[in-house]
Structure 1
Amino acid sequence: MLKPDKHTNPVLSVINIAGLIIEQIRNDEIVNYDDLLSNLVNQTSESVKDIFLYSLSFLYLLDKIEYIPNLDALKLKT
């Protein structure tokens, strides 16, 4: 998944989508899950829906984002 091959679209890679997620959260501080997904679909394509959860998991495992359950939102960890 993280290691690219000749068929990998760099725009739809986990690392690129994770970067776009971080950029969006930096701009808005707290971002609703659905709003974040719709912004990423607008920036890239519908195919991002397949990679979105992998990118969120990647950032969560690196301890970069925090999920706020009562708001169904994400924010950067401080």
Structure 2
Amino acid sequence: MIKPHKYMNLKLSVINISSLIINCFDSLDDKSIKYHELYNKICNEVDEEINELYLDSLTFLFALGVIEYNKEEDRVVLIK
């Protein structure tokens, strides 16, 4: 869910998942990663399936101009 409420698990918030996505780029040299590889890394870190939340987090980062999606290579690229 995008809008927080008092019963929300903050570990499963868009802001937290977005920060985990950005942190995944720190260990990469070319600052790009395959879409499904990134999804698997985030799911392993959170220990849950986060399909909709993952997409919301990517959309949030894209809207802020932090990431881009390369459709031809199916890669998410960090912009800095």
Give the TM-score, by structure 2 length: 0.86
Larger mean CA deviation between 5-14 and 43-52 belongs to 43-52
Gaps of 5+ in 2: none
Moved over 3 A (4+): none
Residue in structure 1 matched with residue 34 of structure 2 by the alignment: 32
> Structure 2: how far apart are the matches of 1:68 and 1:26?
19
* CA RMSD in angstroms, aligned pairs only: 1.4
| Alignment partners' CA distance in 2, 1:7 and 1:64 | 29
Whole-angstrom CA distance in 2 between matches of 1:66 and 1:26: 16
Deviation at 1:59, TM superposition (A): 0.2
Query: Which TM-score applies when normalising by structure 1?
Result: 0.88
Match in the other structure for 2:74: 72
Q: Which residue of 2 aligns with 1:11?
A: 11
How many residue pairs match? The answer is 78
Equivalents in 2 of 1:77, 1:36: separation in Å?
A: 16
Identity of aligned pairs, percent? 37
Unaligned runs of 5+ in 1: none
1:18-67 Cα shifts (integer Å, max 9, x gaps): 00001112322111100000111100133322200000000000000011
